[in-house]
């Protein structure tokens, strides 16, 4: 997959089969659209092209509303797309100026002149242009004038529920990792650098790696204990982790992500850990003391081992 951060670098030599969107999560529905795009492009001797935006349009249009958290960082999105079979990925800088262009300008000057679209394949709810005035019907009207084809992919369902990035975010925020993973078609992940902590876990036999999550827009699951797979270097390890304020040993309200790698004893300060979430074990609880906390961690470990034994 070739990646372009400047649209002028994109000079197609074959027919362009294009899809456009933010594609947060690259979820089950996105994957179906991409499969269709690749299949049609390659059958016609063309190339599949995805146009996405950074930053997310809502972060530009509503900067005062910082509640939006994203399923994927840009790096995670690129990694997922590398495995999808897409030939070209264009990452276009979304600005307020870009948001103000009309739907006709977007189609005529951007899709046709710049990207040289031959076939446009979009999701069922795709809107574009100033005030989101453009939609599938508008594209159909312009496709004859500008000589391109347009196709719409219908809603993709899981158990009769439409898949959407919003529903996945909501599932993550309430700790329903199983549902989020089902919608995604893969395990929700979180990446962080191991930083110095209070080392309280070492004193009770459960040393933890405290993770620093660099991207402030990355969504963090609901507070609680989770079973997960953790990648350190090139190896995967069973892990349990806690997201929250650690009320038993901490009087502060700062939320932390602390990971205990099962059967692991290396010093990994400063290294990167990639977490693949499998299941939420329980809510975060304030225990009477360290002994009670230690007993609960033993139960968490036993439960996590059973869950992870059949999850990879």
Q: What does the pLDDT look like over 257-296, one tens digit per residue?
A: 999 999 888 889 999 999 999 999 999 887 777 888 888 8
**Average model confidence (pLDDT) across the chain:** 89
Rounded CA separation 77/149 (Å): 27
Portion of the chain with pLDDT greater than 70, in percent: 92
Q: What does the pLDDT look like over 216-262, one tens digit per residue?
A: 999 999 999 999 999 999 999 999 999 998 765 564 557 899 999 99
Q: Which of 220, 259, 209 is nearest to 73 (CA)?
A: 220
Q: What does the pLDDT look like over 117-139, one tens digit per residue?
A: 999 998 877 888 887 888 888 89
Portion of the chain with pLDDT greater than 90, in percent: 67
Question: pTM of the prediction?
Answer: 0.89
Token pair for residue 68?
């939006």
Token pair for residue 248?
């038993």
pLDDT of the residue at 250: 63
Residue 63 CA: distances (Å) to CA of 96, 100, 118: 11, 16, 35
| Class of the CATH domain delimited by 2-156 | alpha beta
Pairing of strands 235-244, 224-232: antiparallel
Handedness of CA 260, 266, 270, 272 (dihedral sign): negative
pLDDT of the residue at 169: 96
Rounded CA separation 177/294 (Å): 25
Rounded CA separation 260/48 (Å): 42
Domain residue spans in the chain? 2-156, 187-309
Per-residue pLDDT for 45 more than 70?
A: yes
Q: What are phi and psi of 280, to 5 degrees?
A: -80, 130
| Class of the CATH domain delimited by 187-309 | mainly beta
């Amino acid at each position: 997959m070739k990646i372009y951060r400047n649209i002028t670098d994109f000079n197609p030599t074959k027919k362009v089969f294009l899809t456009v969107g933010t594609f947060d999560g690259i979820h089950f529905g996105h994957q179906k659209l991409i499969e269709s795009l690749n299949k049609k492009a390659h059958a016609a001797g063309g190339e599949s092209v995805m146009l996405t935006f950074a930053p997310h349009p809502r972060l530009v249009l509503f900067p005062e509303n910082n509640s939006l958290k994203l399923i994927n960082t840009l790096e995670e999105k690129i990694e997922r797309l590398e495995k999808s079979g897409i030939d070209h990925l264009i990452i276009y800088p979304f600005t307020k100026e870009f948001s103000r262009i009309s739907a006709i300008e977007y189609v005529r000057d951007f899709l046709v002149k710049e990207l040289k679209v031959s076939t446009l394949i979009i999701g069922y709810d795709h809107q574009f242009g100033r005030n989101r005035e453009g939609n599938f019907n508008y594209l159909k009207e312009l496709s004859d004038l500008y000589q391109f084809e347009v196709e719409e992919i219908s809603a993709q369902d899981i158990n009769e529920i439409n898949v959407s990035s919003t529903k996945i975010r909501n599932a993550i925020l309430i700790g329903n990792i199983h549902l989020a993973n089902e919608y995604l078609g893969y395990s929700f992940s979180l990446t962080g650098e191991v930083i110095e902590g209070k080392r309280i876990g070492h004193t009770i036999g459960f040393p933890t790696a405290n993770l620093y999550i660099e991207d402030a827009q990355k969504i963090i699951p609901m507070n609680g204990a989770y079973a997960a797979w953790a990648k350190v270097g090139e190896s995967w390890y069973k892990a349990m982790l806690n997201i929250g304020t650690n009320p038993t040993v901490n009087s502060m309200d700062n939320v932390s992500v602390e990971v205990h790698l099962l059967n692991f004893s290396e010093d990994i300060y400063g290294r990167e850990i990639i977490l693949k979430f499998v299941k939420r074990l329980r809510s975060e609880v304030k225990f009477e003391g360290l002994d009670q906390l230690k007993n609960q961690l033993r139960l968490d470990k036993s439960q996590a081992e059973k869950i992870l034994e059949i999850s990879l």
